[in-house]
Each structure stands twice: as C-alpha cells, then as structure tokens.
Amino acid sequence: MNKNPMENEEYRPKVVDLFCGAGGLSTGFRMAGFDVLLGIDNIPIFCETFEKNDHQAICGDIRTISVEQIKQAIDNKKIEVVVGGPPCQGFSMAGRRNTKDPRNSLFMEFVRIVAGLKPKFFVMENVPGILTMKTEKGELVKDIIFNVYKMIGYNVEVKKLNAADYGVPQKRKRVVFIGTNTKKSITFPEPTHSQKDNSNQKKWVPVSSVIKSKDKVESNFFHTPKMIEGFVRRKKINEQKGKGFGAQYLKMDEPSYTISARYWKDGSDALVKYSENEIRMLTPEEAAAIQTFPSDYKFAGSKRDIYTQIGNAVPCLLGKAVAEEIKKSLLK
C-alpha cells in the first residue's frame, strides 16, 4: 500500500528546472523542501553556477534536448513539478516588445517537456508584459498559453506577484503561471509583507538590511565625477523623451528597485548615494542578497557574468513562497 506523503516528514517532491539560469527559482524550491534533480540552460556559465551549488545541469539548446534525455539524466525518477522561465526578452516592457522575437516561441519547448514528463504541477514565470502582449492578429499571448496547456490536459491560473510582498528587499514584479493536470486546487501565496504596517503582515524589508557600510566597500565600486555627471545628463534627456530609464538612487528605508541583467554596465538601476559626490553601484554580494540568494551561494564567471546571472534570476524567497503553496496542494 502506498504511504501517504503527508505522513512522511522527509517527503521531498522532485523538480526539473528549465531555463534554470543561476538557480534562483530552484533555490526557492529547495528552501521549501523540494528536491531539484536537474536544471537545463544553454549558457555555459549559468550551468556552471547551477552545478557549483550542488545541482545537476544539462547545458545545451533546449530545442535539441529530448524528454528521453531528461529522463535518463534523472534516472527515470517521477517528477512532480517542472519549473522555469522561458527567456522573456521579447515580452519585456524594459525594451521593445517584439511578437516575432524567436525567443518567445521557447515557451513551446517548455510545453513540450511538460507534456513529456507529465508533472502534477508546473510553474512558469515571466515578465508582467506577457499579460498584455498580443500577436499580430490581436490575440493575447496569455490566452494562447492557456489554450496550449489545456490541449495537453493542464488547468492553468496566472497572477502577477511583487517579490517585496514575500520578504524580498526588492520591488520586483513577476508573472507566475501555475498549472496542474490533477483535480488539486491552484493557489498563489498570500503576501507576508506589505508597504505599510499591518497587523497581519510584516513591513516590507528595506534595502538597508543588505547594504554594506561604506568603509567595507572597495573603491572601484564608487563612480568618478565624470560618470556621475553622465548619470545626471542622461536622466534629464530620458525624462524629456518620456523614457523610464535613468539613474535611480536607493531609498534605504524601502526595498530596492529591480536589479536588471544589465546592472554590470554602471549600476544605474539602483545606486547607493551618500552625497552628490559619493555614489556607487551595488557589490555583487549586495545584489545577490537583494535577490535573497543565500550568503554562501557560489557564482561562476567574471564580475559581469555574476551581475548578469543575479539580474536574470527569480528572487529565491519569491520562489519559496510559490513552492510552499504547491507543496500544500501536493500533500492534500
């Protein structure tokens, strides 16, 4: 007779992470008591980071990786959850959304693997722009995603979540699709934190909680007067053109602004400002802490590589909050 997993304190549902990146989502699922068996990504440095943190990775183009290869890599173990974030640059509101961007079709590879592995649940995360993006024919991409999953037997729900509402010291919004091929309910995590004091919730975690004291930051993270002048000039130009980007200075009593994958360029997404003449970018350790990676998390590659991996990641605590809801459903 099969033992009810609820009676087993060691029950660790098994996960495969597609488009795994540095492993932010996987780390969140691990924090919630899941066993991440495999990650897949096509960027070698991402796979190296994933493996440095005791994960197994397949590095390659997902379009060339068969379901059978995945099953062999995980010794044919039954997967309860498939997670991942198909590359979202074509959906992103941070640039021009392009419905013809070939990366947009990669979510069909995610669907293919879900159909092959038949997990009880899947989690697919993306940028908020995916909720309003339309094809050239005027169809909502979101509706297409729902219909495709319905064709392979999955009921899907979607919600936009703000990482700051789950203890992440960063205001970062992500769209999360959760699907199931069971009759189990799909629930999203209730916020544990809020912008204002609330009897039921803690206050948002301020970025100051992870910022180093000035004397512990190396001088090369501080910007030159010429760089600072450039920030000011560019911000004015962007404001005149109605563009959203320009230097942003962190408010220490609030969560950070979103850390992007291009943070390595000059850190203008989120700068630490001591005075008009003392402005610096976040260190990689601070950026990782803002994304709620554990302090002992190991990143491979150059400083640029590390910032890129951190900026691309799902905040670990946001992943954990989603994972905990799925685990509750699995145990019902």
The yes-or-no answer on residue 88 being catalytic is yes
Residue range(s) of every CATH 3.90.120 domain in the chain: 207-294
DSSP, res 41:
E
Q: What is the mean pLDDT of each run of 10 residues along the chain (332 residues)?
A: 53 97 98 98 98 96 97 98 79 47 74 97 94 83 91 98 98 97 96 88 97 95 90 80 77 96 87 93 97 98 97 98 98 90
CATH architecture classification, 207-294? Alpha-Beta Complex (3.90)
What is the pLDDT, as a whole number, of residue 2? 44
Distance, CA of 203 to CA of 259 (rounded, Å): 21
Q: Measured between alpha carbons, how far is 80 from 83 in angstroms, rounded to an integer?
A: 10
pTM of the model: 0.91
| Helices and strands (DSSP H and E) totals, the chain | 9, 11
Candidate list 20, 47, 59, 88, residue with the active-site label: 88
Distance (Å, whole) CA 302 – CA 308 = 10
Residue 53 contacts residue 27 (beta carbons within 8 Å): yes
What would be the CATH architecture of the domain defined by 5-198+315-331? 3-Layer(aba) Sandwich (3.40)
What torsion, rounded to 10 degrees, do the Cα atoms 289, 291, 295, 300 define?
-110
Residue 170: its pLDDT value, please? Answer: 98
- What confidence score (pLDDT) does residue 298 get? 98
Segments of the chain assigned to CATH 3.40.50.150: 5-198+315-331
Cα-trace Rg, the chain:
20
